[in-house]
Amino acid sequence: MNSLVIMGVAGCGKSSLGTALADALGWTLIEGDDFHADASKAKMRRGIALTDADRRDWLTTLGQQLKGHAAGVVLTCSALKRSYRDQLRAAAPGLRFVFLELEEATARQRVAARSQHLFPPTLVASQFTTLESPVGEPGVLRLDATLPPETLLHDTLQWLGGRNSSQTSTTP
């Protein structure tokens, strides 16, 4: 199955890289945020962090979306905890992840600069508290989210084309 998750905290660039990859690969792009329940979206807009319970059905839905696109799919999803990633892996065997790593101050700055987004800058700290790094898990590419978009795209395409999916790779 050709499935890839672009993951990381808010503001790391998941949507930008996801769009570029889907275009380059000819795969479907799924924006994970589009599938949050209305109640979860309302919580985030009010600055309330989501719980595991809030995310459970969302992750199930995202797993169904992955299954429904056998021709290739790029999913943007924070996938902050290993249990979340494992739930997605169970739905899509062979699923790979690109982890866009970013420092908290930079994430907060990027989120504050966005307009018309459901995620306020006040929630950035909660994402870092929740984040369980995927480094060391199979099928994970770690990239520095501050690299230029074209570098992120190039490095991901190179990894997809030439790396064993069971390896964890990093870019300095």
Average pLDDT of the segment spanning 102-124: 86
Residue identified by tokens 């739930």 is 87
Lowest mean pLDDT among 83-87, 112-116, 121-125: 112-116
Q: Is residue 9 part of a domain?
A: yes
pLDDT of residue 58: 94
* Residue 169 domain flag: no
Which residue segment(s) compose the domain that 42 sits in? Answer: 3-71+80-92+100-163
Q: Is 168 a member of any domain?
A: no
Hey, which residues does 168 pair with through a beta bridge?
Answer: 140
Residue 108 lies in a domain: yes
Mean pLDDT value of segment 13-40: 95
Q: What is the pLDDT of residues 131-172, one digit of tens each?
A: 999 999 999 999 999 999 999 999 999 999 964 333 444 444
pTM of this structure: 0.89
In a domain, residue 156? The reply is: yes
pLDDT, tens only, 36-91 = 989 998 898 888 888 999 999 999 999 999 998 878 999 999 999 999 999 999 99
Q: pLDDT at position 89, please?
A: 95
Instruction: Report residue 123's pLDDT band, with 50, 70 and 90 as the boundaries.
Output: confident
Q: Is residue 30 situated within a structural domain?
A: yes
119 lies in some domain = yes
Domains: count for the chain? 1
pLDDT for 1: 61
**What CATH number did the domain enclosing 158 receive?**
3.40.50.300
Q: Is residue 170 domain-resident? A: no
What is the per-residue pLDDT for 168?
42
